[in-house]
Homo-oligomer: A and B are copies of this chain.
Amino acid sequence: MTDIKQYMQDIGARARAASATIAKASSGQKNAALLAIAAQIEASRDALLAGNALDMAAGREKGLDAALLDRLELTAGRIDGMLEGLRQVATLDDPVGAISELKPRPSGIQVGRMRVPLGVIGIIYESRPNVTCEAASLCLKSGNATILRGGSEALHSNQAIAACITAGLADAGLPSDVVQVLDRRDREAVGELITMPEFVDVIVPRGGKGLIERISRDARVPVIKHLDGNCHLYIESAADLDKAQRVAINAKTQRVGTCCTLESLLVDEAIAAQTLPRLAAEFAEHGVELRGCPATLALVAAAVPATDADWGEEYLAPILSVKIVADLDEAIAHINRYSSGHTESIVTEDYTKAQRFLREVDSSSVMINASTRFADGFEYGLGAEIGISTDKLHARGPVGLEGLTSQKYIVLGDGHIRT
């Protein structure tokens, strides 16, 4: 067995053992651990900033680009955010142990379902060190053991955070193996982590499309993933055009780089001449480039021609593709063909068309008369989220505490036998 394989097997076995302890920990004990970790971080601000300074210096020396350095940086404000996140997760309802649908059956047994942790969750992420704290807190509260593998460029920052987590777990009387942060930079560690089904129940990759595709391809363990967010808004012929304008501008410009930002606008041909020029003017004020179909170009002088590739693109930038469609059928067909299955919205006052859109669009969030920017765990009332799943199995949409659990069947009898 190679050295790195042995290292990962040891970590996996320790996580598996710790998962039994954290699975049966009480809500009180888990909340105490979250608050103890917060206290440790509060007391270790200097150590966190010092570790991060090492990573930032090394990053600059390596020539990392400005966006990556920004994600890597820990500031006092970002540490405040980590503390707020820990305290907020402590206030969320504990999903573990909740029993639902307990009903008597004709045989006399009672059958229900109990919510239980998944077991061991492996998280693979890139440069942002605050993910270490966020992911650990959600897995801990949902009763799972975690193995965290951050970006190698954030090693010192992550080790400083890991020390606080370990100390906080100890303060609450929980084993430190409940949260393990890998301290080796070896790339092979990831390869081992995603191919140990005996020790790891699910992998959550957080990062760019390349990372997620690579992990999905190579994993021998189930993966909860979101690839990209090519989100659509369809302004239907019966839309209230003021609502349409407000929603479209918000969905594209409120924050341009998120996965639920609008990337493609569909406009019904019946109202295109009326609405598109006005919309284009406001998009221009926000510096948004429009890439349009030929019919759009005829109405909007400033638009440039869209290629077929534009319909499938997640720009994460002030660019929007615009297509004029004949009707609801064409809009739904276009979305189900080009969308990444993240979030789509319709603006309409037509009841039947709204219902059809809701039912027939095959995405993790489908909206009526609302900005796609609402697709978020906090906005949905889940609290913090570990990611937004565009998969269909298990968890779909924002994944909070419930998405990190499963349900087993429970049967209560009184000596019942099957006849």
* Contact between chains at B105 and A392 (CB < 8 Å): no
Q: Number of A interface residues at 8 Å Cβ cutoff, please give it.
A: 70
* Contact between chains at B247 and A364 (CB < 8 Å): no
- Which chain A residues (102-136) contact chain B, with CB distance < 8 Å? 103, 105, 107, 109, 111, 114, 116, 118-119
A24-B333 Cα distance, complex, nearest whole Å: 13
A254-B107 Cα distance, complex, nearest whole Å: 15
A243-B114 Cα distance, complex, nearest whole Å: 24
Q: Which residues of chain B come closer than 8 Å to A224, judged between CB atoms?
A: 393
Chain A 65-99 interface mask (CB, 8 Å, partner B; 1/0) = 00000000000000000000000000000000100
Q: Which residues of chain B come closer than 8 Å to A359, judged between CB atoms?
A: 24, 97, 114
A51-B418 Cα distance, complex, nearest whole Å: 36
Task: Confirm or deny: A350 has a beta carbon within 8 angstroms of a beta carbon on chain B.
Answer: no
A360-B414 Cα distance, complex, nearest whole Å: 20
| Interface 9-mer from A147-155, A169-177, A366-374 | A366-374
Chain A 363-395 interface mask (CB, 8 Å, partner B; 1/0) = 111111111011100011100000000011110
| Interface 9-mer from A54-62, A266-274, A283-291, A402-410 | A402-410
Nearest 8 interchain pairs by C-beta: A370-B413, A243-B415, A250-B417, A367-B411, A373-B418, A394-B394, A397-B409, A393-B394
- A residues near B (Cβ < 8 Å) are 20, 23-24, 97, 103, 105, 107, 109, 111, 114, 116, 118-119, 201-202, 217, 220, 222, 224, 240, 242-243, 246-247, 250-251, 254, 336, 345, 347, 358-360, 362-371, 373-375, 379-381, 391-394, 396-398, 406-419
